[in-house]
Structure 1
Amino acid sequence: MAKAYTFNWQKSVPSFMQEGAVFDRYEEDPFVFEPNCLFKVDEFGFFLTWKSDGKEGQVLECSLINSIRNGAVPKDPKIITALESVGKTENDLEGRIVCVCCGTDLVNLNFIYMVANNAETAKLDEAIIFDKYKWKDSSQKNDEIEHSVFTFDKFYALTQKICPRTDIEELFKKLYLMSDENAPVFLDRLELYQEMDHPLAHYFISSSHNTYLTGRQFGGKSSVEIYRQILLAGCRCVELDIWDGKGEDQEPIITHGKAMCTDILFKDVIQAIKETAFTTSEYPVILSFENHCSKPQQFKMAKYCEEIFGDLLLKQPLDSHPLEPGQPLPSPNDLKRKILIKNKRLKAEVEKKQLEAFKRLMEAGETTAPAHILEDENEEEIENADPEEEAHPELKFDNEISSDDLSQTEAQTNNVKKVIEEEVTEITDVSDVTDVAEQENNKKGGITVEDEQAWITSYTYVGATTNIHPYLSAMINYAQPVKFQGFNVAEGKYKAK
């Protein structure tokens, strides 16, 4: 129901927001830690301010805030150590972190993390109030004003108060500026206007490349939060470059391989995707896997997708759209609220044979399958994963290796590694935390154009593995990567039809 028009720009800001609350603030890149910050909102709801003892206050314009949500427990040891120095252990952080995502657009984003002294203060309900009282109130973006209440005369009077234009007054009086002929967009396209019942391949899909990176392609930072933000913006296809994790837990990681970018855990990204996949749109989400993992870690990937996504994951083709030659793909409407995995898939007969063998081993209590069980020597599409392919080959080089022991390219890579390598510093109090943060940021500033050129020179692209675990292969439906063989081949296929 439309409501009567009232031009009231000032929103009521609750007193507790004006009085403020104390949080510990940190940012990941560059690393910043500022304990005991008093956060406040001004009486008009325009600005979020914070200040700690001995430091200048800072201001964030609320109109730049894109979203405010519960933050995940940080994985970075520097952040954990910094929080422990003020009495907050890792086990106490669940439910106490608020993530403020802000920026002028979807590329230049900044994430500010606020750690409350207790879970009550950090409740997401209170964080949403920040969002509710900012100038860009998204909850009212679809509100309408009754035409009988907001007449043209009232609109004209309002424009004369805001921006009087005597030079176009005649056009106003003739109602041309208010007519459909002068609409800034086609009126029939203000809402969803396309039919969404055609096969999926008939549509352009809003997609993201190297989704995990927040900036530089070489030496850049990977972020879990960026997946949430991209999906909230309406993107329907995101990329995950997945490599074997080398830690004790052997967890699959996401990073820009061989480019000295930071890592994030695959399972953390899957959780973030589940939380935000269908908040903005119910149309299907495609996960584009660039899979560099060994088969044991591919099995972990498949299990995480199965357990975390649950019924959202499309594990089998729809009964109405079987995977058969000549059958059309399902439509976006058919696939609403479904997550599809795009990955290379084994040939049907190979997948069936390996999957049956794998299931027999699992039923017998075997935790891992012998290599020969999951391979077919006669299958041309299967290639053994190269054991030398690693996400971070630069970490194999010791600091003391000289250029005489390495090729010129490897020596350049090693030199760059020395510049960005993190120092292990024992932190005993809050002042040490600040010193470490400054050292980290100054060190990053030492990366030169020559250093980056060395990265680019030493970088070699590694294609995704074709040695696919049958359990993961069985989850692939409707979306598979196909190598583009050239326009001549494509044109020949088109003419053949």
Structure 2
Amino acid sequence: MTKAYDFNWQRPIPEALLKGCIFDRWEEEKEQVVYEPNALFRVDEYGFFIYWNSDGRDGQVLELSQVNDIRAGGIPKDVRLLAELSSKHRYGLDEVSLTICSGTDMVNINYTHVVCPDPDTAKIWQAGLRSITNNIKANNVCPATCLEKHWIKLGFLVDPDGKLPVRRIAQTFASGKTEKLVYQCIGDVGLPSGKNDVIEPQEFTLEKFQELYQRVCPRNDIEELFNTITEGKTDYISLKQLITFLNEKQRDPRLNEILHPFYDERRVREIVAAHETNPENIKEGRLSQGGLVRYLMSDENAPVFLDRLDMYMEMDQPLSHYYINSSHNTYLTGRQFGGKSSVEMYRQVLLAGCSAELTVQAHFLQALLQAVSAYLVLEASSKRSPRPSDDDDDDGDDDGGRCVELDCWDGKGEDEEPIITHGKAMCTDILFKDVIYAIRDCAFVTSDYPVILSFENHCCKKQQYKLAKYCLDIFGDLLLTEPLPNYPMTDWLVLLKTDGNLRGRSQGPGPRQPLAQPQRSQAQILIKNKRLKPEDEKRELELWRKGQLQNDDDDEEKEDASVTIIAPSEEGEGEIIEPSSPTQENPGSKKKKVEAQLEEQLAMAHYQYTGATVHVHPVLSSLVNYAQPVKFQGFEVADERAIHFNMSSFAETAALGCLKSQAIEFVKYPPH
């Protein structure tokens, strides 16, 4: 970086976590139960790891960059383990247990359960761990810090005697390297190199590890670069050569020369002093090959703008001035056809979606197609993989978001509980109320910015009332049910129909009413669903209170696309394929697999789309405010009406067409 930048990625570690505490650890994986009593849990001083050890066991480590949530509670299913833990602890297990959720993606989550000595300790550790996880800055540290991080991790993986097994070090470099080479390099740096040898921790210094790294993974490309700069004449880069290299090769020529000036002698000497170890070279402003390696691995050469990991944008604009990362089919852990739905996906998306440091989505078109009337800024978790587009089959990983989708359908059970699933796409079902609980628990753990629930509503009025009731009862004050003060929902124009054309008439003097700023609706949940006209909503609410509301659903009136699968019958006519519960397949039956694949391909080829119902229960309608979907009638009409709480969805082809023909109008849309 042309300007020196102090990248402070560390968060303060609570004293209780540094000191550590004795917990009982247990894990359940299918039929296997792991139980480790009386383990000492601690967090390292940098906040990289939570690590633990107990008598007679090797040390273990959990990387905090992979921890996405720490939840209260956790009861084992194993009866014997439950009995043992219950008898050992005088408090209820739900009061003293924590569940640490971790994983490298959003689908394959590992659950590590710990039982604390008392409820207060559980609360301290839950709050403490949450304060240092989801640290976007720590996930963007430079390679040099990553190397130190790995060295720290190896120091925790000691055997029961407190010594570091050589095989642990060898496993670090196992990928792409021969075992013989790794053990040889360990011996070359002066460490014990037998497979069964152990090393005293104080002997395994950071310098030794860095030397070992350079021997096992030599950077021949950097050596070639060094020789090119020095022309092979010296064992150092002179001050003049270094200035030339930094300005002509390292500096991005697109940068503004005032904000990002060229490297000068003063700045280059600062770089040399920071990365060179030879005092004579520092004095002369020269850089050795080792110094060049350290410089290239430092924060000076980060692949991202480190200052953009902080909150650097103004957050006092109307909500519609920002992009949102809108999660499509949030509930799916895999394919859109025959996939598995999971409540956990809502937790993962919200936990990964945004934190105190915000980043605007850089790809305008992607954001435009996903949510052209977006309402907020969100931060994508650098450790998560984005979900493919709607046209892709593999929807396994979802980039985090502040807008999640709920495809709501009528439940078929006796209790008629509304469900969330992918239409009739043979995906599994999850209960709507379970999703609402999950959203309540995770919506504002990593961010206070508002969350939008995008309902794709296929329910009858009776079950729509349940949707509304669950939202009111479970969310409580988190649900934004009324317009915010100073941001009323009054239409700027009264629409008149004259000679078949829309005309507008101002309701009064003053500027157009904008949407609220993101911080004005912090820690609030908004519902996006069709809303009835004010007079219809009022009339139907009165009828509902009197018990006279008719359930006049008409499946022929639909809006918004959702999937229904039609397969041709033997007579050549289409028939609906209803979702079915999964059955166990004979692993040895190749014929069944082929038939299943053919059936799936046939069904996918006959996708037909049915939309969400237009018959909305008045109670659900009354919960909708700043996110009201309407049919798009053109940019001119939208600008004339200037209703700031209206939004529209676009098919990809339509959006691309508008972008090509009316780019300026598209950028200005929606009105605010």
Q: Would you call these one fold, judging by a TM-score over 0.5?
A: yes
C-alpha spacing 1:127/1:331, structure 2 compared with 1 (3 Å)? closer
1:111 to 104, 109, 112: 109
| Number of the residue aligned with 1:101 | 101
Residue 341 (structure 1) shift: 0.4
Residue 189 (structure 1) shift: 2.7
| Number of the residue aligned with 1:54 | none
Residue 115 (structure 1) shift: 7.4
| Number of the residue aligned with 1:66 | 67
1:174 partnered with 2:265: no
Q: Which amino acid aligns with 1:198?
A: Q
Query: What are the residue-to-residue correspondences of 1:438-457 with 2, within 5 Å?
Result: 446=593, 448-457=596-605
1:71, 1:113 within 8 Å by CA — same for their partners in 2? no
Partner Cα separation in structure 1 for residue 326 and residue 465 of structure 2: 26
Q: Which amino acid aligns with 2:615?
A: N
| Number of the residue aligned with 1:220 | 339
1:292 to 455, 458, 461: 458
Q: Which has the higher contact order (CA 8 A, sep 6+)?
A: 1
Q: Secondary structure of 2:328's match?
A: coil
| Number of the residue aligned with 1:196 | 315
Say which is worse superposed, 343-352 or 166-175, in terms of deviation. 166-175
Q: Secondary structure of 2:612's match?
A: coil
Partner Cα separation in structure 1 for residue 663 and residue 20 of structure 2: 67
1:305 partnered with 2:471: yes
1:349 partnered with 2:508: no
1:68, 1:98 within 8 Å by CA — same for their partners in 2? no
Q: Which runs of 5+ in 1 are unaligned?
A: 5-10, 27-31, 51-56, 75-79, 143-157, 376-382, 424-438
2:101, 2:110 within 8 Å by CA — same for their partners in 1? yes
2:65, 2:134 within 8 Å by CA — same for their partners in 1? no
Residue 198 (structure 1) shift: 1.3
Residue 16 (structure 1) shift: 4.3
Q: Secondary structure of 2:543's match?
A: helix
Count of residue pairs the alignment pairs up: 403
1:97, 1:114 within 8 Å by CA — same for their partners in 2? no
1:477 partnered with 2:638: no
- What value does the CA root-mean-square deviation take over the aligned residues? 5.4
| CA deviation string 1:163-216 (max 9, x = no partner) | 788849645963348799866544653411211121111111122111111111
1:385 to 546, 555, 558: 555
| Number of the residue aligned with 2:523 | 337
| CA deviation string 1:137-163 (max 9, x = no partner) | 959959xxxxxxxxxxxxxxx999847
Query: What are the residue-to-residue correspondences of 1:114-263 with 2, within 5 Å?
Result: 125=122, 128=125, 162=210, 167=226, 170=237, 171=242, 174-176=269-271, 184-186=303-305, 188-233=307-352, 234=354, 235-263=401-429
Partner Cα separation in structure 1 for residue 338 and residue 67 of structure 2: 26
2:564, 2:609 within 8 Å by CA — same for their partners in 1? no
Residue 226 (structure 1) shift: 1.5
1:212, 1:255 within 8 Å by CA — same for their partners in 2? yes
C-alpha spacing 1:119/1:451, structure 2 compared with 1 (3 Å)? farther
Partner Cα separation in structure 2 for residue 63 and residue 443 of structure 1: 43
Q: Secondary structure of 1:175's match?
A: helix
Residue 259 (structure 1) shift: 0.8
TM-score of the superposed pair, with normalisation by structure 1:
0.63
C-alpha spacing 1:43/1:192, structure 2 compared with 1 (3 Å)? closer
Residue 290 (structure 1) shift: 0.6
C-alpha spacing 1:175/1:218, structure 2 compared with 1 (3 Å)? same
Q: Secondary structure of 1:261's match?
A: coil
Q: Which runs of 5+ in 2 are unaligned?
A: 1-7, 11-16, 44-48, 84-91, 140-205, 215-221, 230-235, 243-266, 275-294, 355-400, 493-511, 634-653
Q: Secondary structure of 1:240's match?
A: strand
1:67, 1:131 within 8 Å by CA — same for their partners in 2? no
2:343, 2:430 within 8 Å by CA — same for their partners in 1? yes
1:212, 1:222 within 8 Å by CA — same for their partners in 2? yes
| CA deviation string 1:232-281 (max 9, x = no partner) | 11221111111111112111111111111111111111111111111211
Q: Secondary structure of 2:527's match?
A: strand
Counting aligned pairs with the same residue, the percent is 41
Q: Secondary structure of 2:465's match?
A: helix
C-alpha spacing 1:204/1:115, structure 2 compared with 1 (3 Å)? closer
C-alpha spacing 1:98/1:387, structure 2 compared with 1 (3 Å)? farther
Partner Cα separation in structure 2 for residue 392 and residue 488 of structure 1: 25
Partner Cα separation in structure 2 for residue 87 and residue 185 of structure 1: 48
Which structure would you say has the larger Rg? 2
Q: Which amino acid aligns with 2:326?
A: S
Residue 49 (structure 1) shift: 11
1:277 partnered with 2:443: yes
